[in-house]
Amino acid sequence: MPLSDLIGADSILPHLKANGRKQALQEMCERAAIVSGLREREILDVIIQRERLGSTGVGNGIAIPHAKMEKCHRIFGVFARLERPIDFESLDGQPVDLIFMLIAPEGAGADHLKALSRIARLFRDPSFAARLRATRDPAGLYLMMAQHDTSNAA
């Protein structure tokens, strides 16, 4: 599943200012509600519930919060590039500055796992992460993600 199928240009927050994990997640859930038509509070509730199971901070300054929702009809994401790294209780103890939130329908099963795997693989690429950190404008960030899909298509 190409990343451009999961995220649109309107799903990118290029300069998110947050003092902590909860604030960052709230801001991202607000944007998720706008792009999906789902209720912000319901998105935040499932994301926070998932975070209680263990942090989705995967290391190297990257977090991939994710959850499934009953009322969700398609897999979608929201990406944020933080102005200042925040503590996310990541596996490596490092603060996070790149967050890709993924929301999927309750019955997404394998598609949800494939999307998570795709995001994790892409964001673990140090050169891709460095380019995301260096790019400030939402259109540029979206284009970078969309172009990466085409350049790596098999």
Residue 141 identity: L
62 within some domain: yes
Rounded (10°) angle between helices 126-134 and 110-124: 80
pLDDT in tens, 52-109: 999 899 999 999 999 999 999 999 999 999 999 999 999 899 999 999 999 999 988 8
100 within some domain: yes
154 within some domain: no
66 within some domain: yes
Range of the domain at 65: 3-148
Write the CB contacts of 149 (distance below 8 Å, at least 6 apart in sequence): 2, 3, 4
Question: The pTM is what?
Answer: 0.93
21 within some domain: yes
Q: Structural domain tally of the chain?
A: 1
pLDDT in tens, 4-54: 889 999 999 999 999 999 999 999 999 999 999 999 999 999 999 999 999
153 within some domain: no
Least confident segment among 104-108, 120-124, 126-130, 144-148: 144-148
Report, as residue numbers or ranges, the catalytic residues.
Answer: 66
CATH number, domain of 103, equals 3.40.930.10
